[in-house]
Amino acid sequence: DTGVSQNPRHKITKRGQNVTFRCDPISEHNRLYWYRQTLGQGPEFLTYFQNEAQLEKSRLLSDRFSAERPKGSFSTLEIQRTEQGDSAMYLCASSDNRGLVSNQPQHFGDGTRLSIL
Amino acid sequence: AQTVTQSQPEMSVQEAETVTLSCTYDTSESDYYLFWYKQPPSRQMILVIRQEAYKQQNATENRFSVNFQKAAKSFSLKISDSQLGDAAMYFCAYRYVGSQGNLIFGKGTKLSVKP
């Protein structure tokens, strides 16, 4: 169990640029979540995958955001035409595929901190 | 909509003493889970303790215990024998049983531990 891995750890970009983050969940975890955490706030749910299927998306996930999990393993989160308000920590979490989805604890990665200049 | 409120932005405790962090939540559901997560500075969030709403018995994990009051929708975390390594942000979180599993977090409480 190597834990949830996120890359890069920190991304600095100019407003208007596109950025992509990667998340590698714990192996054999088929459930994967993306959250956004702004300064002084708790994480807010963005989207959820079960295997390669994106089953839920928050209203926070505007049309500039897109997430994929093409083979049911790693996931990418892309933000197009970044804005100042996108500056945040983007957290990925994964959970076990046994039992009820709501019953399994989520294991978080270190996050990717996005800074928009 | 479900919400989670942590009314203490910051708390401080002396090493070896006991501290209680407060959390209240609002939901119309009867079956759900509650969690406390710890987020040390620049480190990943880890699960501290979990409580199933259908269980009356309060969860305990070593020095960490909860006081779950379902009728009052209150879920406080007690840390006994506080250690320097307990210093972190603590987040209370809620998850409805029928959901896809996404957590709803409070804003967090920053805990400082004084030597």
pLDDT at B74: 97
Provide the mean pLDDT of chain A.
92
CA B97 vs CA A30, A98, A99, B103, B107: distances in Å = 18, 14, 12, 11, 22
The answer to whether the Cβ–Cβ distance between B102 and A108 falls below 8 Å is: no
DSSP character at residue A64 = T
Of B97, B98, B100, nearest to A48 by CB-CB distance is: B100
Task: With beta carbons less than 8 A apart as the criterion, state whether A56 and B102 touch.
Answer: yes
DSSP codes, A27-53 = TT--EEEEEEE-TTS--EEEEEEETTE
Are the beta carbons of B45 and A91 separated by less than 8 Å? Answer: yes
Task: Take residue B28 and report the two structure tokens written for it.
Answer: 């119309």
Indicate the pLDDT class of residue A100, thresholds 50, 70 and 90. Answer: low
Sign of CA dihedral A111, B32, B93, A3: negative
Residue A74 touches partner B, C-beta closer than 8 Å = no
Q: What are B's interface residues with A at a Cβ cutoff of 8 A?
A: 4, 32-33, 35, 37, 43-47, 50, 91, 93, 95-108
For residue A29, which residues of chain B lie inside 8 Å, CB to CB?
Answer: none
Q: Which residues of A touch B91 (CB under 8 A)?
A: 42-43
| Long-range CB pairs of A10-16, under 8 A, 24+ apart, other chains included | A10/A112, A10/A113, A10/A115, A11/A112, A11/A113, A11/A114, A11/A115, A12/A115, A12/A117, A13/A82, A13/A114, A13/A115, A13/A116, A13/A117, A14/A82, A14/A116, A14/A117, A15/A82, A15/A83, A15/A84, A15/A116, A15/A117, A16/A81, A16/A82
CB contact under 8 A, B99 and A105: no
Q: Give B-chain residues touching A4 at CB under 8 angstroms.
A: 44
Question: How far apart are the C-alpha atoms of A86 and A48, rounded to whole Å?
Answer: 19
In this structure, the strands spanning B109-114 and B104-105 are: unpaired
Cα separation, A39 vs A12, in Å, equals 16
Q: Would you tell me which residues 44-73 of chain A have a C-beta closer than 8 angstroms to some C-beta of chain B?
A: 44-45, 48, 50, 55-56, 58
Kindly indicate the confidence band of residue B17, based on its pLDDT and cuts at 50, 70 and 90. very high
Q: What is the pLDDT of residue B98?
A: 79
How close B104 comes to chain A (CA, Å)? Answer: 7
Chain B hits for A50, Cβ within 8 Å: 100
Contact state of A42 with B91 under an 8 Å Cβ cutoff: yes
The answer to whether A111 faces chain B, any CB pair under 8 Å, is yes
Say yes or no to pLDDT of A1 above 60: no
- Residues A62-75 have pLDDT tens digits of 899 999 999 889 99
Q: B40-85 pLDDT, tens per residue?
A: 987 889 999 999 999 989 999 999 999 999 999 999 999 999 999 9
